[in-house]
């Protein structure tokens, strides 16, 4: 990990939290294998998180930035810090500190609907998983309406949305591509040419 | 990685378009037939209507069973699975529901209109079987849903009301020939309250907590507020129904007053959604929604007056008209006006290519004509009932018929435009 430039949600922002040094000694829980087999590791992670005492750490290796998990664990008092180690490999450090500082150092924005947005090389990403309908639709439309150029929007969803295509079409956008992975359905949204 | 994330795919939730649309087409046809039947009956029959078999009662059930319930079935079978993210049930059950219910309603209303006992009993039995299937499908879909308290609580009350109103309806039918009920009018009023406020009313309020945020792009309705409104609605309905059935006017009036409170709580729950909406300009269908939302409290105020002893002639006739035609028919046609092109648009990209825009699928002129005629019909018929005048009744019935035909043209045009889009998409696929 040392040879990898520290990344926060996919961007080099520097300044990791002070507690990260202690967290680096923790053995990561790698859930990539479980996800590849089609098994939902949520219960196992929550069980592991329940055993972490105040001041303790939990480290998760995942194939993507597990934004909804970070939000769920923030609600249980965990701050988090994510590093993209390589393509398809994220390591997220959780620190049980009350969660007041859970977004520290993360270059993400949280929309009024509770979706997280951040930038990566392929466009603006928005994670709407676990939001109550119609908030995913609202967050995506709000983001799309705020984009002036031809930037791509990458949506992380927990299902194939049915209403989104209609609202996008009304605004001159469309779903260019869909990739379905376990608990992460990604949709690439682009302006119609 | 997250609970509940393994959900059915989008294709599993979309029914073949012919399934919901067959219900909508039937609803549109019964809508036209109801106004035509009222015209055939003439102002005299409508003005003096206090119940009993005949064309007016037949027309009333063409609206309630033929248009309102039919539209609710068509909307629910497609929108419930989308909203709850769970399959509704086997498609054969939906088809069976249609093929039992539609002929049942048709035979039933003919029986009511021509006072044919056998047709009433046969039609009512088939219609009740169809509604029982509907109740089963909805209940099964909602059984494990925990994240939509608005829909689940209101729908549960709707299903219970459906069962009760069906039983009372059958009892009333038998009473036409046997005459065993001590107070036929009180049971008929209870049946009407269960149908109008209980079954259709609860469905309308429950579905509005999902549909309105979706259509205006507004925030989700807060669970706590909608639970409170649903609780008040349930208590109000229980009091109103018990008071009406037992002939205790004060209890029925208390139920109606609490019903007004429940409507206020529901409006309060929806206010945040409306205020936070991203679509700042309300779509045309909202004009009908506003009319319906005026008619609902008006009908409840009238119910309070009736329960406290206001004369049945003309106020009970007016109450029934405001409840069925003013509140429910207006609200249901408003939602159909939005849902029909919306569903067509959802299906329009199934062959690939761009989806047909909702705004292009929905013709504007027919809905404008329907709005003008429907509102004119509401005003004219209400005035005629209050004053006992024949000529505004004639005008009102003609306006209602014209409005229903305009709505039929709208429905036909949506389907025509959808088919035209699909034909073009198929041709493009073939060439590509």
Residues of B in contact with A66 (CB under 8 A): 1
Which are the contacts of A104, defined by CB distance < 8 A and separation ≥ 6?
A17, A79, A81
Provide, as residue numbers in chain A, all residues whose Cβ is less than 8 Å from the Cβ of B218: 134, 138
Q: Which residues contact B200 (CB under 8 A, 6 or more apart)?
A: B64, B68, B69, B72, B158, B328, B332
A-contacting residues in B 119-148 (Cβ below 8 Å): 147
Residue B65 in any domain: the answer is yes
Per-residue pLDDT, B306: 94
Average pLDDT over residues B249-259: 96
Residue B168 lies in a domain: no
Model confidence at B379, pLDDT cuts 50, 70, 90, reads: very high
Q: Are B70 and B336 in contact (CB under 8 A)?
A: no
Instruction: Determine the number of helices (DSSP H) and then strands (DSSP E) in chain B.
Output: 17, 0
- Name the residue among B85, B213, B217 with its Cβ closest to that of A141: B217
Task: Name the band, by pLDDT with cuts 50, 70 and 90, for residue B136.
Answer: very high
The answer as to whether B107 is a domain residue is yes
Q: How many CB pairs under 8 A join A and B?
A: 92
The pLDDT, as a whole number, for residue A106 is 53
Lowest average pLDDT, out of A3-17, A131-145, B141-155, B368-382, goes to: A3-17
- Give the pLDDT score at A13: 46
**Arithmetic mean of pLDDT, A132-147:** 89
pLDDT of residue B391 exceeding 70, the answer is yes
Is position B111 within any domain?
Answer: yes
Domains of chain A: 20-96 (3.30.110.40), 109-191 (3.30.110.40)
Position B107 pLDDT exceeds 80:
yes
In tens, the pLDDT along A25-36 reads 888 888 888 888
In terms of CA atoms, which chain B residue is nearest residue A142? B278
The answer to whether position B92 is within a domain reads: yes
pLDDT tens, B209-236? Answer: 988 888 888 888 888 999 999 999 999 9
Residue B270 pLDDT: 93
CB of A60 within 8 A of CB of A45? yes
Element (H, E) at A95: strand A89-96
pLDDT value at position A128?
A: 86
What is the spatial distance between Cα B65 and Cα B200, in angstroms, rounded to a whole number?
10
Q: Are A157 and A185 in contact (CB under 8 A)?
A: yes
Question: Following DSSP, what letter does each residue of B158-226 receive, concatenated?
Answer: HHHHHHHHHHHHHHHHHHHHH---S-HHHHHHHHHHIIIIIIIIHHHHHHHHHHHHHHHT-PPPPHHHH
In the predicted model, what is the mean pLDDT of residues B20-45? 96
| Residue at B60 is within a domain | yes
Measure CB to CB from residue B359 to each of A66, A68, A170 and give the nearest one: A170
Contact A129 B147 (CB under 8 A): no
User: Is residue B14 less than 8 Å (CB to CB) from chain A?
Assistant: yes
Residues of chain A in contact with residue B270, where contact means CB-CB under 8 angstroms, are none
Q: Minimal CA–CA distance to A2: which of B364, A16, B76, A181?
A: A16
Establish if B55 belongs to a structural domain: yes
pLDDT of residue A25: 82
Residue B337 and residue B286: Cα distance in Å, rounded? 10
B166 pLDDT band (50/70/90 cuts)? very high
Q: What percent of chain B has pLDDT over 90?
A: 70
Spatial distance between the Cα atoms of B271 and B267, rounded to a whole number of angstroms: 6
Mean pLDDT of A59-86: 81
- Identify all chain A residues contacting B346, using CB atoms and an 8 Å cutoff: 162-163, 166
Mean pLDDT of B292-302: 96
Structural domain span for residue B116:
13-145
Rounded CA-CA distance B116/B55 in Å is: 12
Average pLDDT score over residue span B62-67: 96
Distance (Å) from the alpha carbon of B78 to chain A's nearest alpha carbon: 12
Q: Is residue B250 part of a domain?
A: no
pLDDT at A8: 43
d(CA B358, CA B353): 15
Q: Domains in chain B: how many in total?
A: 1
How confident is the model at residue B259, as a pLDDT?
A: 97
Share of chain B above pLDDT 70, in %: 97
Asked if the Cβ–Cβ distance from B219 to A35 is below 8 Å, we say no
State the average pLDDT over residues B56-84.
92
């Amino acid at each position: 990990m040392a040879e990898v430039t520290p990344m926060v949600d996919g961007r080099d922002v520097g300044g990791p939290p002070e507690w990260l040094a202690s967290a680096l000694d923790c053995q990561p829980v790698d859930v990539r294998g479980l996800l590849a087999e089609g098994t939902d590791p949520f219960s196992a992670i929550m069980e592991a998180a329940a055993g972490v005492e105040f001041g303790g750490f939990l480290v998760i290796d995942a194939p993507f930035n597990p934004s909804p998990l970070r939000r769920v664990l923030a609600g249980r008092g965990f701050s988090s810090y994510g590093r993209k180690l390589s393509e398809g490999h994220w390591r997220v450090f959780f620190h049980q500190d009350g969660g007041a500082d859970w977004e520290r150092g993360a270059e993400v924005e949280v929309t009024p609907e509770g979706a997280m947005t951040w930038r990566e090389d392929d466009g603006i990403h928005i994670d709407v998983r676990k939001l109550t309908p119609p908030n995913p639709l609202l967050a995506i439309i709000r983001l799309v309406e705020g984009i002036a150029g031809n930037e791509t929007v990458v949506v992380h969803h927990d299902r194939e949305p049915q209403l989104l295509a209609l609202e996008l079409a009304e605004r001159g956008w469309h779903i260019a591509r869909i990739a379905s992975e376990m608990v992460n359905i990604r949709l690439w949204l682009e302006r119609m040419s | 990685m997250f609970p509940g994330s393994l959900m059915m795919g989008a294709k599993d939730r979309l029914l073949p378009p012919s399934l919901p649309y067959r219900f909508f087409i039937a609803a549109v046809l019964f809508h036209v037939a109801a106004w035509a039947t009222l015209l055939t009956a003439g102002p005299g029959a409508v003005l003096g209507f206090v119940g009993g078999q005949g064309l007016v009662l037949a027309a009333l059930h063409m609206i309630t069973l033929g248009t309102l319930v039919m539209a609710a079935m068509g909307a629910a079978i497609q929108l419930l699975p989308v909203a709850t993210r769970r399959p509704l049930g086997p498609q054969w059950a939906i088809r069976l529901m249609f093929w039992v219910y539609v002929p049942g309603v048709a035979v039933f209303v003919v029986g009511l209109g021509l006072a044919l006992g056998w047709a009433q009993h046969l039609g009512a039995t088939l219609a009740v079987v169809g509604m029982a299937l509907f109740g089963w499908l909805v209940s099964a879909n909602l059984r494990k849903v925990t994240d939509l308290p608005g829909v689940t609580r209101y729908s549960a009350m709707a299903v219970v009301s459906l069962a009760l109103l069906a039983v009372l309806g059958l009892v009333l039918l038998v009473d036409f020939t046997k005459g065993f009920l001590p107070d036929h009018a009180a049971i008929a009023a209870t049946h009407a309250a269960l149908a109008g406020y209980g079954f259709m009313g609860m469905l309308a309020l429950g579905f509005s907590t999902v549909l309105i945020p979706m259509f205006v792009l507004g925030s989700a309705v807060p669970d706590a507020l909608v639970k409170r409104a649903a609780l008040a609605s349930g208590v109000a309905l229980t009091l109103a129904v018990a008071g009406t059935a037992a002939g205790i006017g004060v209890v029925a009036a208390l139920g109606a007053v609490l019903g007004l409170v429940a409507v206020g709580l529901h409006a309060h729950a929806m206010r945040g959604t409306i205020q936070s909406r991203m679509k700042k300009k309300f779509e045309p269908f909202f004009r009908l929604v506003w009319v319906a939302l005026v008619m609902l409290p008006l009908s409840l105020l009238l119910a309070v007056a009736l329960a406290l002893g206001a004369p049945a002639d003309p106020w009970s006739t007016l109450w029934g008209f405001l409840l069925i035609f003013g509140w429910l028919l207006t609200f249901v046609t408003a939602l159909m006006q939005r849902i029909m092109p919306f569903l067509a648009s959802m299906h329009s990209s199934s062959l690939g290519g761009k989806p047909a825009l909702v705004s292009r699928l929905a013709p504007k002129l027919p809905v404008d004509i329907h709005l003008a005629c429907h509102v004119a019909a509401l005003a004219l018929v209400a005035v005629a009932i209050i004053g006992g005048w024949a000529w505004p009744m004639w005008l009102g019935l003609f306006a209602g018929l014209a409005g229903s035909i305009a709505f039929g043209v709208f429905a036909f045009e949506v389907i025509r435009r959808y088919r035209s889009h699909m034909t073009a998409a198929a041709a493009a696929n073939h060439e590509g």
